[in-house]
Structure 1
Amino acid sequence: MTINAEVPVAATGGGPVAAEQGVGGSTSATDLVLPLVAVGGVGILAGYGYVRRTRRARTRTTPGVVSPHPPVTPLPVLERQAGAALVQADDCVRTSRDELSFAEARFGATAVEPFVRALREAERELSAAFAIRLRYDAGVPEEEAARRHALAGIVGRCAEAGRRLDAEAPGFDQLRALEREMAEAQGVAEERFRELAGRTGTVEATLAELTTRYPATATASVVGYGEQAKDRLVFATTHLNQCRQAADLGETGRAIRDLRAAEGAISQADTFLNGIERLADALTAAADLIPAALTGAEAETARAAAQADELRSHLTHTDTVLAAVRGELTAGEYDPLDALRRIVRAVRALGGGRDGVLGAAARLTARHDVAATDDFVTTHRGAVAADARTLLAEAQRLLGTDPGAADEPALKSRELAEQDVRVHGNPHAGTTGLMSGTSGAVLGGILLEETPDGGPPLSFGGPETRARRAPHLRTD
């Protein structure tokens, strides 16, 4: 029908209304009330449904409906995600490296070749991710779209590093066969534990001698390392004993978890003790090298003095540094590594010092500083964030290409890592009912901080497999 402002008019053509008119001869206004109400109700419902569909399409994503304005993740959120990916991938690499050393001690280098190869591939992917992050922090690239792409590249590289380790985790477990060869694996760990326990007293005596011979700055990088090594060894003792008890009871899954926790602690105790011994060797080598380095530096200043005037200010600075080092040698107590480091830096400002005795001095200080920082990150990785790890990766890269330039990022990385640990604090300080050394094991990344007792021990593998020894994943 059609409706106007006056009276109803029948629609032309056949249909229910025309039929009624044919029977009754006319149609009253009362007869049209219900059809009009029905049409109006349909219109209202159709309009309401349209509004709801439109609103739903704009506010949330549903299958088959694409939002006209998809949400854009803020850049700071993407940066945090990329940083978290770097930390997780770096932790996976470090943990895999630790457990791989126990497998190699048990089965030999040939047997672990596939896993060493996977680890090297993961390290390359991670190094590429760190390189992208370093450029990103320097403002490259500049455009926001390109920066988003760079952050996606970081996450992608980290994911690939983890994937390579995850892919080899089942084969690695088959090699170790801890379910069948627990006694042999425990024997390897106990032998290494006994060797470290025997070294601890000697290393502590070495550190005590260093503190009497050199100023506090010379030994600051290893302060507390003796106590932390003993803390890890106490933790290892507890878990080795628990491992043996669980194995005797046939609780294989628990025995494996205790063994992995003990192995992680043993590795870190070894790192602490090696750090003290490395420092002692480096201080002795630096002290022996300083006289020759001073002679080489004087030759470099003489060469630079004959060149353009733009080196005048650098020459003045270099002369001041060399005079200060000579004064420290005469005074008696000084920090050989710091003195050698200052000589190398002063001469590099003149454009020299890359070869000969000064090149050797640069390699000595850089190797020590990079290794010391790596030790700190390894043993405190539960707290160290992405910034420190990125600078450490750059220092490790420079160590093979320009050792004199590796020193600065290594020292800055150590500074940032120590700040991270201070901010993080001890997650279990004041907590009762925890076994000895658990707090240090969580801080060191040996255990995941997920449960009151520190969480499961970590194993060889990437993000998907590294926590496979969790209690709910039973291997009994």
Structure 2
Amino acid sequence: MATDDAVRTSQEDVGFAAAQFGETAAQPFTEAVDYAKGELTAAFRLRQQLDDAFPVDDETRRQMLDEILSRCTQADRRLDAESESFDRLRAMEANAPQVLEQAEAKATALPGRIAGAEAALAPLSAAYAGSAVEPVAGHPAEARDRLEFARSSLDQARAAIGTDHGRAAVFVRAAEGALGQATTLADSVTRRAEELRAADAGLRAALTGTDADLAEARGLLGAPAPPGASAPGHGDLRGRIARAEAVVADVRAELAGGRYDPIAGLRRVEEADAGLDEALAGAREQEVGERRARELLDQALLAARSEVAAAHDVITTHRGAIGSQARTRLAEAERRLQQAGAAAPADAFAALAHARDADRLAREAQRLARQDVGGFVGVSNGGRRGGPGMGGMGGAVLGGIILGELFGNGRGARGGIGSLGGRRGLGSGGFGGAGPGSFGGGRTRGRMGGGGRF
């Protein structure tokens, strides 16, 4: 988890540097992040294999755990090796006034973006089922919480300008992280609205396609197989027809009933239609079968991309609470989605299998992430559920903007922070003994301490 956080924070910092100095100047750090991401992806893939109970012998398991540790170590070392050069590039102490102005401009523009997200959320909640909106339902409120923390940090930075540029730089970096997360949270609502509209249109087209496949399948029940073709057994075909008919009827009833989940509906129709396609494959001409496979692939990719994006957003903006299982599922989902894209031009059937796996893993990542966040909020509030609060400070820790050492006791059993009672320096607006995470690996990521020095 620490390496994953280091990579995510470093990627954010490289984005800030590229915006400030250009892509060419940021290229060495982009390459370092890409290398670290590659090592981390390989480590997560091994972790997924262990979670899937493969392999079973202890020696191989030990070797895989050793490789996971080695890859995480290599990722950390590569980022650590570039941290000093990165600090020289940004020179935030020297450039604090200019960077502060840029951050303040972003903070000024952000309320309108959040208001747009809130305006988009209301009609979504009215039109679609709760399950369709759930991934982003709380994001506008969380975006405002991150913005509150950013404004507080910017006020502290402004107060320090002229007397302690190092301290100002620490607060500006924290504000940058909060503003970035607030933007992600607000934009996720707009993206979800677009995904739901696309899924809605795709669902209606999918129902039409399934109707055609059902008609074709029913025709096969009483027709002899074409020469050289292998017709499916009638019992198996009848079962697939019955399942597809039931799904189509249920989904159409949901559409007629008002609020529904088009992404979930599209997934159900695609899976039922795929069962029909499998039964019809032997009786169809190859060209027809491939065309239908590509149509099903388009539907599966729409759902998979939506779920992977939702999982990525929730883990990135709540990484202070997220445990290893959710991160592992997301990494594997992203890998499977890439495989689907790579396989699609030559093999729609293989791509379809990868897309379904990506969809399933991303939904599992979201479930595990929500569980982790729930545990974090419960522990952080003495067992009481509630929002981050604390003038945005709780959200900053939840988002991994402020390192967890701030609260002394480390993560709780379910990924939460052990205690909020020991927060130091919050009354004066400081970060206590910790500061914002910055570009680097495990050794250097926390170098921006609360005292204002790198």
What interval of TM-score do these two structures reach, taking the shorter chain for normalisation?
Answer: 0.7 to 0.9
Q: Report if the CA contact (8 A) 1:344-1:404 is conserved.
A: no
Q: Deviations over 1:197-256 (max 9, x none)?
A: 22111210110121122222221111211111000000000001111111222x122111
Q: Report if the CA contact (8 A) 1:369-1:411 is conserved.
A: yes
Letter aligned with residue 18 of structure 2:
E
Q: What is the CA distance between 1:147 and its match in structure 2? A: 0.7
Classify 1:244/1:426 alpha carbon distance in 2 versus 1 (closer, same or farther; 3 Å).
farther
Letter aligned with residue 333 of structure 1:
R
Equivalent residue for 1:255, pick from 168, 171, 174: 168
Q: Report if the CA contact (8 A) 2:320-2:399 is conserved.
A: yes
d(CA) in 2 for partners of 1:104 and 1:464?
23
Classify 1:457/1:191 alpha carbon distance in 2 versus 1 (closer, same or farther; 3 Å).
same
**For residue 462 of structure 1, what is the aligned residue in structure 2?**
441
Residue 443 (1) aligns with residue 357 (2): no
Residue 421 (1) aligns with residue 373 (2): yes
d(CA) in 2 for partners of 1:301 and 1:99?
53
Equivalent residue for 1:308, pick from 200, 209, 232: 232
d(CA) in 1 for partners of 2:370 and 2:209?
35
d(CA) in 1 for partners of 2:276 and 2:314?
32
d(CA) in 2 for partners of 1:473 and 1:234?
21
Q: Report if the CA contact (8 A) 2:438-2:448 is conserved.
A: yes
403-412 or 365-374, which deviates more: 403-412
Letter aligned with residue 107 of structure 1:
F
Letter aligned with residue 316 of structure 2:
T
Classify 1:426/1:246 alpha carbon distance in 2 versus 1 (closer, same or farther; 3 Å).
farther
- Residues 303-382 of structure 1: pairs in structure 2 closer than 5 A: 306=220, 307-309=231-233, 310-350=236-276, 355-382=293-320
**For residue 224 of structure 2, what is the aligned residue in structure 1?**
none
Q: Report if the CA contact (8 A) 2:167-2:451 is conserved.
A: no
- Residues 202-351 of structure 1: pairs in structure 2 closer than 5 A: 202-249=116-163, 251-301=164-214, 306=220, 307-309=231-233, 310-350=236-276
Q: Report if the CA contact (8 A) 1:427-1:439 is conserved.
A: no
Residue 181 (1) aligns with residue 95 (2): yes
RMSD: 2.1
Q: What is the CA distance between 1:369 and its match in structure 2? A: 0.6
Q: Report if the CA contact (8 A) 2:126-2:259 is conserved.
A: no
Q: What is the CA distance between 1:304 and its match in structure 2? A: 5.7
Equivalent residue for 1:394, pick from 332, 337, 354: 332
d(CA) in 2 for partners of 1:426 and 1:236?
24
d(CA) in 1 for partners of 2:237 and 2:364?
27
Classify 1:256/1:435 alpha carbon distance in 2 versus 1 (closer, same or farther; 3 Å).
farther
Q: Report if the CA contact (8 A) 2:148-2:391 is conserved.
A: yes
Consecutive unaligned residues of structure 1, counting only runs of 5 or more, are: 1-86
Q: Report if the CA contact (8 A) 1:106-1:188 is conserved.
A: no
d(CA) in 2 for partners of 1:327 and 1:380?
36
d(CA) in 2 for partners of 1:373 and 1:441?
19
Q: Deviations over 1:313-355 (max 9, x none)?
A: 3332222111211222233332222211211222334456974
Letter aligned with residue 447 of structure 1:
I
d(CA) in 2 for partners of 1:312 and 1:115?
58
d(CA) in 2 for partners of 1:388 and 1:411?
10
Q: What is the CA distance between 1:150 and its match in structure 2? A: 0.7
Classify 1:354/1:419 alpha carbon distance in 2 versus 1 (closer, same or farther; 3 Å).
farther
Letter aligned with residue 284 of structure 1:
R
Letter aligned with residue 375 of structure 2:
V
Q: What is the CA distance between 1:177 and its match in structure 2? A: 1.2
Letter aligned with residue 429 of structure 1:
N
d(CA) in 2 for partners of 1:162 and 1:302?
57
Aligned pair count reads 386
**For residue 419 of structure 2, what is the aligned residue in structure 1?**
none
154-163 or 309-318, which deviates more: 309-318
Between the aligned residues of both structures, percent identity stands at 42
d(CA) in 2 for partners of 1:128 and 1:302?
45
Letter aligned with residue 250 of structure 2:
A
Q: Deviations over 1:167-191 (max 9, x none)?
A: 1111111111112111222222222
Q: Report if the CA contact (8 A) 1:121-1:161 is conserved.
A: yes
Larger Rg: 1
Letter aligned with residue 303 of structure 2:
T
